[in-house]
Amino acid sequence: MSRLRLMILCGRSARHLHVANTLCRAGEALAIVQETGGEWNLKKTLKKLRPDNLFRKVWRWLRDRRRYTGNPEAKFFFPDGEPRLDHPERVREVPHINHPDVVKLARDLQPDLICVFGTSLIRGDLLNEGRLGIVNLHGGLSPEYRGADCTFWALYNGEPEKVGCTLHYIDAGIDTGRLIAHISPEVREGDSELVLFWRAVRDSAEVYAEAVERLGQGERLGAVQPGKGRLYQVKDRGLRQEQKLAARLASGMLKGMSLPRRVCWFANETVKEQST
C-alpha cells in the first residue's frame, strides 16, 4: 500500500478542519491551503455592493448569526476542545483558491491527489494539477442536488432520504465531475437541517479518507454522472422558503423517520451500496 501525497484545499470552519484532519491521517499531507479573501478590486467591490447582493449577504449573516449562536458546529466536530488543525505548520494562506500561488505550489509539490472541501469554485490551470486529479466533497447528492444549501433543499422538497454528500472528481463544471461516492447520514425524528448536514459531513470525512487509501492501493474509482440535475444557488433560498421548511419540521415532517447511514460507491462504472 502506498500513502498518497496530498495537497488539501479547505475552508476555516470547524467542519472543514475536521475533514482536513481526517485526510491528514489517511495520506501524507504536503500542504493545507486556505483562502483569506483578502484580495479585492473595483469590479469585485461594485458587485458585492449591488443592492440585491448586499441584501442577500446581510440576510444570510443575520440568519447564520442566529443559527450559530454558541458555536454549535465547533461543539459537534470538536466536543473536547476548540476547533484546530492537527498540523497547523502545513497551512499556506492565499487570497483566493485560484491565485497563481496555488498553481505554483501544486507544481512545486507534485501531489498525487488534491483534496478539496469548502473553498471557492476552482477554475483555470489548477484543474490540471494532481497526478490523480482533484477530488471534492460536495454537500449534496449530485447530480440531483448540486450547488448551495442542498440539505435545506432536500428537506424543503420533502426528500429527507436524499440528504447527503457527494465525493467526486472536479471538472470545469459545478459538482459535475465523475462520482466516487454518495454518503447519506442517519435521519431521525427531531433532526434539524444543521444537524443533518454536520452528520453527513462527519460521515463523509471517513469515506473521503477511505477513498484516499483505496486510490493509494491502485483502485480505480469514479463513474460519469447521469445528467446534470438541478443547480441550486444561494439566491434561491429566502425568508419565505426558510419559514415554510421551519413550519414543516415543526409539524412533524420527520415524525417516525429512522434511516440508517448509507454509502454508495462508484467504482469502474459499477455501483456498490452499503448501509451501516
Distance between CA 181 and CA 165 in Å, rounded?
8
Flag whether pLDDT at 273 surpasses 60: no
3-state secondary structure at position 61: helix
> pLDDT tens, 177-192?
999 999 999 999 999 9
CB 103 within 8 A of CB 129: yes
What is the pLDDT, as a whole number, of residue 195?
96
Contact 187, 259 (CB under 8 A): yes
Model pLDDT for residues 19-54, shown as the tens digit of each residue: 999 999 999 999 999 999 765 555 555 555 566 666
Interval 183-204 mean pLDDT = 97
Pick the range with the lowest mean pLDDT from 5-14, 154-163, 232-241. Answer: 232-241
Cβ within 8 Å of residue 4, ≥6 positions away: 27, 28, 111, 112, 113, 132, 212, 215, 216
What integer best gives the mean pLDDT of the chain? 90
How many structural domains is the chain composed of? 1
Which grid cell is 265?
460507491
Predicted local confidence at residue 2, as pLDDT: 82
- Residue 16 lies in domain: 5-275
CATH of the domain at 127: 3.40.50.170
H-only helix segments in the chain: 14-26, 42-48, 51-67, 72-77, 100-109, 150-156, 193-216, 239-250
Measured CA to CA, the distance from residue 244 to residue 222 in angstroms comes to 37
